[in-house]
Chain A
Amino acid sequence: MTEQKHLTHDTGAPPGAPGEAPVLEIDGLGVRLPDGQAARPILDGVGLRVAPGETVGLVGESGSGKSVACRSVLGLLPPGALTTGQVRVAGRDVLTMSRAELTALRARQVAMVFQDPRASVNPLRRVGDFLTEGLRAAGTSAAAATARAEELLDAVGIRDPRGALRRRPHQFSGGMLQRVVIAAALAAEPALLVADEPTTALDVTTQAEIIAILTRLRAERGTGLLFVTHDLELAAAICDRVYVMYAGRIVETRRTDELFDRPRHPYTAGLLTCAPRIERDAPPPRPIPGRPVSLAEAPSGCAFAARCAHALPRCTEEPPVPARYGDGLTACHRADEGITL
């Protein structure tokens, strides 16, 4: 994957925190399944950066590779996958870590919250054991670990934390259990929290509560947050910066306000106009024709060209290179012309 080196030196510096060493840097990340299993790479030249205390959104549809990208931060990759590039957490490359180093990384530096809380908690064990096992493994005494677990449950807004420690996962609703998972994720005070669609399986009112907790904790503790979602409106509501992915590549990244007001990539613009908005007098959603690129298809040139109203002959021939426009990057041959929404 030599042709995707272009992102290596320019991943759109975090505007909020100049000079501060990023907690996460992904450079030119390529993930490819072995021959014959997919026509195109799952990820191709992905570059991404999260500064301390920053909330970064990673938005895309199915098959965009957003989940694979965020799992790579913990060193979780599809079996047999071939990788190129680097995923650096606090300066160290996750992709070359040994098993022991990965365990240490997951225990201390990066925590992850998945979509389905029931799948991430052992259903047979008490919530207290689930919360304290990481702390105990790190050498904290039982009493101190329990006290810390209570403190964490309190921080995520669970009433009667002491009682909650003795209960089992099935006694919690999905939203409450997701709070427990977040509490466990924060137990080791990680520098980076990766959340993969953490509220997709929840009701809207519960989603609002979970998001409120995440934003508050992020602000209090200065944890960097990589928030993966398919919901552009949700990303707009909580993220400082947003990366938009399509078919394994990052097509655009910029600060949230600018991304929404002046998207430079036709796909970003398409996502903005196709999502139904609740405001009065919001224009009806305008569909993007066609459908997302599957792994069995390997379009030459820009992967979005087939669905793009602005495509030129050049777009299907030559893949666009991400280049700087305004405060972020856009990978589009016509990015300089601007798009009217």
Chain B
Amino acid sequence: MTSPATAADAAHAPLAPFRRPGLRGLRLFGQGPLFALSVAVLAVLVLVAALAPVIAPYDPEALDLSASLVGTSGDHLLGTDQSGRDILSRLIHGARTGLLGPLLVVAVSTALGTVLGAVAAWRGGWTDTFLSRSMDLVFAIPGLLLAILLVAVAGSGMTAPVVAMAVAYTPYAGRLVRGIARQEKARPYIESYRVQGWSGWTICLRHLLPNIAPTVLAQSAMNFGYALMDLAALSFLGFGVQPPTADWGAMINDGQAAVLQGAILPALAPSACIVLAVVAFGIVGEGLADRIARRER
């Protein structure tokens, strides 16, 4: 029996956390300044990717062997790489592949995982066991290994790594959705729809999924960061996007040799971009998850 006192007291929230008014201006969506900063970083990234041809000062693939490994200068803000390509322009164009790949991975894996997880949670019993074990099986195969195998079969380029990663990320999404959907299914509001005589499909689509969507979305934001890192790793290993297309992971690989010659920017700049993006996605994802948790209370 829940007590009348606690249930209702919580609703009136007399113990709501007090926030210092001075910080309130910095809060975006009621989160800390770090969250706001991360959202801003992601917004800039998306803008840069969208406007790449307009804002990039040079053609990212234009070779100029006479200007190999030029340091920071007025002409080349971040210098050039070994082949004399403008690093800033390559970073700006690299944001496109850098964001598009993870977007596809997350979209496909979340969609697939949501369907599998929701069906497993809703049907329960034998269906649940089968789907859960299948997801565990995929989960046990390292994503990078899967990608390398697929590249070996289908050839390099963006498709094979993205497909492999989407498959590898599906169990993450599937497990999450299964867990929260099972919880949600046991809530009286879902049960009351069952008592009213609605079909399972209708309840799932109209009530269950919309109510768990925010949590799934928050997890997706975090997965986006991981996927970005994994795809960059594949490119770095040479299994992803092929030269001369600009890609952060491949750029680090290209820049390795230059480090020995004392030029660290060709490798450092794309690394910094990856770190920045991954951290920003992580903070936004956690911030969203926090916000949902707080609203649920």
Contact = CB atoms under 8 A, between A and B. Distances in A.
A–B direct contact (CB < 8 Å)? yes
A230 B5 CA distance: 7
Contacts of B3: 115, 197, 200-201, 230
A63 B8 contact: yes
B14 A33 contact: yes
Q: Interface extent on A, as a size class?
A: 20 to 34
A62 interface: yes
B6 A115 contact: yes
B8 A200 contact: no
B18 A37 contact: yes
Report whether over half of chain A's contact residues are helix, strand or loop; otherwise say mixed.
loop
A78 B12 contact: no
A295 B6 contact: no
B5 A67 contact: yes
Interface residues of B, number: 17
A64 to B, nearest CB: 9
Nearest to A228: B5
Contact of B12 (A62, A80, A81): A62
Contacts of A37: 16, 18
B12 A295 contact: yes
Given A197-B5, A230-B4, A230-B5, A33 B16 contact: yes
A197 B9 CA distance: 13
B54 interface: no
A66 B3 CA distance: 14
B15 to A, nearest CB: 4
B24 to A, nearest CB: 10
A218 B6 CA distance: 26
B140 interface: no
B12 A63 contact: yes
Contact of B18 (A33, A197, A201): A33
Interface string A184-226: 0000000000000100110000000000000000000000000
Nearest to B7: A62
B141 interface: no
B17 interface: yes
Given A200-B3, A201-B3, A62 B18 contact: no
27 contacts: A33-B16, A33-B18, A37-B16, A37-B18, A42-B14, A62-B4, A62-B7, A62-B8, A62-B9, A63-B8, A63-B12, A65-B14, A66-B5, A68-B14, A78-B15, A78-B16, A81-B18, A115-B3, A197-B5, A197-B6, A200-B4, A200-B6, A201-B1, A201-B2, A230-B3, A294-B12, A295-B13
